[in-house]
Amino acid sequence: MATEIRGESATEDKGKPARSKRTTPPLFVRQVAAELRKVIWPTRKELITYTAVSLVFVLIMVAIVSALDWALQKGIFAIFG
């Protein structure tokens, strides 16, 4: 028959994943705690370094955007007065 492919019905849903059971809240908390134990936490020195690098990067980006904003503002005022 045209609706069958090698003995399987064409109406069967092979693409859908099987339904799984819901995770209970206590199991979820245990799994989260187990995953957090696997995390390699930074040392205090690394954390300070990462924070300083992030702040410097943000300050540089703020300076660039502010400079572009100022330049565009001056350009628009010069054109349209």
The answer on pLDDT for 3 being more than 90 is no
CB 75 within 8 A of CB 67: no
The answer on pLDDT for 81 being more than 90 is no
Per-residue confidence band for 73, with pLDDT thresholds at 50, 70 and 90: very high
CA-to-CA dists, residue 46 to 9, 41, 64, 68, angstroms: 59, 9, 27, 33
Per-residue confidence band for 66, with pLDDT thresholds at 50, 70 and 90: very high
The answer on pLDDT for 11 being more than 70 is no
User: What is the per-residue pLDDT for 35?
Assistant: 95
- d(CA 63, CA 47) in angstroms, rounded, equals 24
